Amino acid sequence: MKIGVPKEIKNHEYRVGMTPSAVREAANHGHEIVVETSAGNGISGDDDTYRAAGAAIVDSAQEVFATADMIVKVKEPQANERKMLREGQVLFTYLHLAPDPEQTKDLVDSGAICIAYETVTDGRGGLPLLAPMSQVAGRMSIQAGAHCLERAQGGAGVLLAGVPGVRPAKVVIVGGGVVGENAAYMAVGMGADVTILDRNVDTMRSLVVRFGQSVKTLYSTSLTLEEEMLAADLVIGAVLLPGAEAPKLITRDLVSRMKKGSVICDVAIDQGGCAETSMATTHAEPTYVVDDVVHYCVANMPGAVSHTSTYALNNVTLPFTLALADKGYKQALLDDQHLLNGLNVCQGKVSYEAVAHDLGYDYIEAKAALGI
């Protein structure tokens, strides 16, 4: 199979779909890999490094899309990239379709086979291709939030850890999954006062086992959420419904009553955000203020730490990339139900139920979409 790796073009996105080591593995399996020039610069992988790994370097994304059987990316294809997709071509990347009707329409119209990293599953009920970026984003959310709390950034001028004689910042994490756990890891390490809200008692038990009395856990209800947010200096939105738009748990009214200079870091923004006041921002302009509350809503947070993120992502995507290339997409999907769960759009049909439901498409079960 011919695998294409274009350069990412989303604002301040420095990750790349395949590392040189992943390219070498694919080449060892007998596949041809074409990489757009400079695609790996953000991870210190220049063109010569990719050539040495077995890739051919081409001058443009157009050449990558025109010649490759499968496109391997990181972020969802941008509008001009979607125009280059063709019928029967495989796209393997993050998609986050539920809050993005324009992208969904373009992918349906393209006739491509679109497999989303974020809905591939594993035998433990997890999302293995989403987990490493959730780990990165969770840890980054505390770094970003601590910076936003500085007075010069519009925050209240609160140091996350405090100092002897001055209280630390109160950090409220809404959601105790992978993002929430990793946010707590950083916040506890920095000495903050940390509370995690969740509705899964087993999740809260595991958090207490890990962090002990360094965190407080609360069952999330509208009342406990309100009480904690009104007392918070930093709120981390870490809510996930796999493949679906994030629920708007944080209302506009609640934001209007938060402390002046407090911060919301909405990690769920790539699925639409969990606050009614959230709207996607970029690394170039990461924040805005609503009712004296600083909002940090960068949709591709891990792109800022591209080296760590790309290698962590390739560690989990490579086996699936090789399966798709070795077997062909149809056989690879049929052989692995967990990979099949990643099929979101297939030759004009929406094959992921939550996306179809949220955006008003007819839902076609994945095997039926494949013609099985």
As annotated, the active-site residues are: 96, 270
- Answer whether 40's CB lies under 8 Å from 71's CB: no
| β-sheet with 170-174: strand ranges across | 215-219, 193-198, 170-174, 234-237, 263-266, 293-296, 287-290
Is the Cα torsion angle 354, 359, 360, 363 positive or negative in sign? negative
Residue 161 token pair: 């850890």
- Answer whether 113's CB lies under 8 Å from 57's CB: no
Interatomic CA distance for residues 347 and 169, integer angstroms: 50
* Alpha-carbon distance values, 354 to 118, 163, 237, 267, 370 (Å): 13, 46, 21, 20, 18
- What are the DSSP E strand ranges found in the chain? 2-5, 32-36, 56-58, 70-72, 90-93, 113-116, 170-174, 193-198, 215-219, 234-237, 263-266, 287-290, 293-296, 343-346, 349-350
Interatomic CA distance for residues 97 and 354, integer angstroms: 9
Interatomic CA distance for residues 77 and 27, integer angstroms: 25
CA atoms within 13 A of residue 148's CA, in its CB half-sphere: 30
Vertex 206: Cα angle to 204 and 210 (nearest 5): 115
Q: Report how far Cα 145 is from the mean position of its chain's Cα atoms.
A: 18
Other CB atoms within 10 Å distance of the CB of residue 78: 17
Interatomic CA distance for residues 287 and 265, integer angstroms: 9
Contacts with 86 (C-beta within 8 Å, 6 or more apart), sequence order: 65, 110, 111, 112
